[in-house]
C-alpha cells in the first residue's frame, strides 16, 4: 500500500498515478460529451451521413492522439481501434500513463455501446498493420478516418530491420536559451548542439511520412479503407522562438517530409473519393517540449496571453475544433492553406497574440517568471500527463494495486 507522489527529475516525470491517468481521460470524455450536446453533433447512427463510423488512431494513448480517439468516439459515435506501445502495469509496478489512458478509454467506450480495441504494439511494424487489418475485419467494417499521431525516438525499418533514432536538434549551429524548471520556476541556460552525421536523415526516417504512407498502402491493399476515407497526420510550425530547434531543425525536416508525402497519399486516396491532410496544431506541454531550450518558457508565456484573450486550447479543445470546424463541416469542405494543410494553430500564430508574447519574452527573469508567464498552468499540464494534479482525485488515498484504475 502506498501514496503515490510525482517523481520529477530534470523536467521529466518518471512515474504515473493509475487513478489520476484514468480520471484525466474520463474528464476529457465528459467534456467532449458536453460539446456534443451543446453543438448538437449527431453520429452516423443518429442520421449524420458525414460522421466517421470506424476510426483508426495510431499513437492513441496520450495528447493529440488520445483526444482524437475520444472526439471520434464520444462526439461522433465512432467505433475505434487504437495503437500505442506501452509498458504494462503489474500489481506492484506502474505502467506508462498511456496504458492507463487506454484502459480507461476502452472501459468508457464499452459502457457507451461502442466497439473499442486497443493494441499494445509497435505501430511501425508490419505485424501491427496485419493485426489492425484483422481487427477491423472482425468489426465487419472499413476505416473512414485514419489518424496518424505517432511520436517516437526509434523506428525499425520493416524491410531492412535497421533501427533508426530521431533527435531534436538544431541544424548548422547550436541553439540556446532559458530552460524553465516547471516545478520550481527556476531558469537555467541550456544549449542544444547541432545535428551531425546522419541525425537529419535518421530523424526523417523515424518521424517523417514514410511509415504513414506504408500504413495507408497496406490498409488499401487489404481493402479496409472505406470510400471517402480521410487520413490526417499532425505537425507543428510554431513561432520564431522555436524555429531553430523545430521547424528549421531535425524534427522540422521530418515534418516537411510528412507534409510532402501527404500529397502522395492524397493522390492515392482520391481514387476512392478520399483525402489526406496534415493538421498543423498548437504548441502544448508534452514530455519532449519540457526539456528543450526556450520552449517551456515560450509556452508559459503563450498560455498566459491566450487565456487572457479567451482563446487558449488544450489537446481536447484543439482536436474537437479540428473535427467540428475543419474535417466534418456542414458543407463538406475542409478549409486548408495554400499547401493543403489544415491550420488549427491559427489562434496561436495570431499576430496580436505573438506581438504580446514578443513584448513579454525579453522581460522574463527568475524573479518575475511566476508573474509574467502561466507557470501554474504549465505545471498543471505537465503533471496531468502522468496522472497528477488531476481534478477529482484524492491523492492521499493508498493505491494497493497498480493495475486498478478506480
3 state DSSP class of 279 = strand
Contact 302, 395 (CB under 8 A): no
- The verdict on whether 277 is a catalytic residue reads no
Alpha carbon distance 86, 38 (integer Å): 34
And the C-alpha cell for 143? 476505416
And the C-alpha cell for 295? 520552449
Contact 11, 182 (CB under 8 A): yes
- Bridge partners (DSSP) of residue 71 are none
Specify the pairing of strand 225-235 against strand 187-192: unpaired
Name the catalytic one among 164, 246, 277, 328: 246
Alpha carbon distance 50, 40 (integer Å): 14
Task: List the catalytic residues.
Answer: 246
Amino acid at each position: 500500500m502506498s501514496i503515490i507522489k510525482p517523481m520529477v527529475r530534470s523536467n521529466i516525470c518518471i512515474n504515473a498515478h493509475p487513478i489520476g491517468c484514468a480520471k484525466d481521460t474520463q474528464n476529457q470524455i465528459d467534456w467532449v460529451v458536453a460539446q456534443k450536446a451543446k453543438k448538437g453533433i449527431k453520429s452516423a447512427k443518429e442520421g449524420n451521413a458525414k460522421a466517421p463510423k470506424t476510426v483508426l488512431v495510431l499513437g492513441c494513448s496520450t495528447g493529440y492522439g488520445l483526444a482524437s480517439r475520444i472526439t471520434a468516439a464520444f462526439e461522433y459515435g465512432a467505433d475505434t481501434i487504437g495503437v500505442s506501445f506501452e509498458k504494462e502495469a503489474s500489481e506492484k509496478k506502474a505502467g506508462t500513463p498511456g496504458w492507463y489512458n487506454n484502459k480507461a478509454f476502452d472501459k468508457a467506450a464499452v459502457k457507451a455501446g461502442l466497439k473499442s480495441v486497443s493494441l499494445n504494439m509497435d505501430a511501425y511494424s508490419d505485424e501491427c498493420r496485419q493485426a489492425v487489418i484483422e481487427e477491423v475485419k472482425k468489426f465487419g467494417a472499413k476505416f473512414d478516418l485514419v489518424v496518424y499521431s505517432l511520436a517516437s525516438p526509434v523506428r525499425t525499418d520493416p524491410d531492412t530491420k535497421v533501427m533508426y533514432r530521431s533527435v531534436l536538434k538544431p541544424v548548422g549551429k547550436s541553439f540556446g536559451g532559458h530552460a524553465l524548471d516547471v516545478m520550481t520556476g527556476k531558469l537555467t541556460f541550456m544549449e542544444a548542439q547541432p545535428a551531425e552525421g546522419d541525425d537529419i536523415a535518421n530523424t526523417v526516417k523515424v518521424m517523417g511520412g514514410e511509415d504513414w504512407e506504408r500504413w495507408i498502402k497496406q490498409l488499401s491493399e487489404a481493402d479496409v479503407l472505406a470510400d471517402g476515407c480521410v487520413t490526417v497526420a499532425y505537425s507543428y510550425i510554431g513561432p520564431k522562438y522555436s524555429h531553430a530547434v523545430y521547424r528549421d531543425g531535425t524534427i522540422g525536416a521530418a515534418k516537411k517530409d510528412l507534409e510532402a508525402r501527404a500529397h502522395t497519399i492524397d493522390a492515392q486516396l482520391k481514387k476512392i473519393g478520399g483525402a489526406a491532410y496534415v493538421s498543423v496544431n498548437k504548441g502544448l506541454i508534452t514530455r519532449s517540449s519540457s526539456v528543450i531550450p526556450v520552449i517551456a518558457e515560450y509556452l508559459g508565456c503563450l498560455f498566459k496571453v491566450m487565456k487572457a484573450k479567451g482563446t487558449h486550447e488544450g489537446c481536447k479543445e484543439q482536436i474537437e475544433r479540428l473535427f467540428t470546424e475543419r474535417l466534418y463541416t456542414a458543407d463538406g469542405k475542409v478549409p486548408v492553406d495554400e499547401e493543403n494543410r489544415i491550420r488549427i494553430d491559427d489562434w496561436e500564430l495570431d499576430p496580436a497574440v505573438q506581438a504580446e508574447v514578443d513584448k513579454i519574452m525579453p522581460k522574463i527573469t527568475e524573479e518575475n517568471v511566476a508573474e509574467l508567464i502561466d507557470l501554474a498552468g504549465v505545471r498543471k499540464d505537465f503533471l496531468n500527463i502522468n496522472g497528477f494534479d488531476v481534478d477529482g482525485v484524492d491523492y492521499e488515498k493508498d493505491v494497493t494495486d497498480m493495475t486498478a484504475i478506480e
